[in-house]
Amino acid sequence: METIDQISEMYKLLADKTRLTIMALLREKELCVCDIVDIMEMTQPNVSQHLRKLKSGGMVNEQKRGQWVYYSINLEKPNVLASLQQVPSQKHLVDQMLKNKIIEC
């Protein structure tokens, strides 16, 4: 069980609109940085900075495949999915990105 301090830190991370959106996207599908950059129309360094904060907070996992790093929600951390229950689905954005994607990252 997580402490109040740990839960407070998780909500601080999610209080940022960009990080909250990234988590909503990852709820739909494991994504690489380039996918998130395409969907959110942000720079790669900016997206990577937010992902680093989410990773250091234990909210996301990363897995390196070749030259790309893929991110997914850390399902082993209690309360992560529960904290996203009220967040609107971003499936339409992920689906659109996959539809428009010509080459794999």
Residue 105 in domain: no
Distance, CA of 43 to CA of 37 (rounded, Å): 6
pLDDT level of residue 102 (50, 70, 90 thresholds): low
Global model pTM greater than 0.85: yes
Residue 34 in domain: yes
CATH number at residue 22: 1.10.10.10
**CA 9, 15, 17, 21 torsion: positive or negative?**
positive
Please name the helix (run of DSSP H) or strand (run of DSSP E) that holds residue 75, with its range, or none. Answer: none
Distance, CA of 99 to CA of 88 (rounded, Å): 21
Range of the domain at 29: 4-100
Please name the helix (run of DSSP H) or strand (run of DSSP E) that holds residue 35, with its range, or none. Answer: helix 33-40
DSSP β-bridge partners for residue 73? 60
pLDDT level of residue 23 (50, 70, 90 thresholds): very high
What would the pLDDT profile of 43-89 be if each residue is shown by its tens digit? Answer: 999 999 999 999 999 999 999 999 889 999 999 987 888 888 889 99
Please tell me the predicted confidence (pLDDT) of residue 21: 97
Residue 16 in domain: yes
Residue 83 in domain: yes
Number of structural domains found in the chain = 1
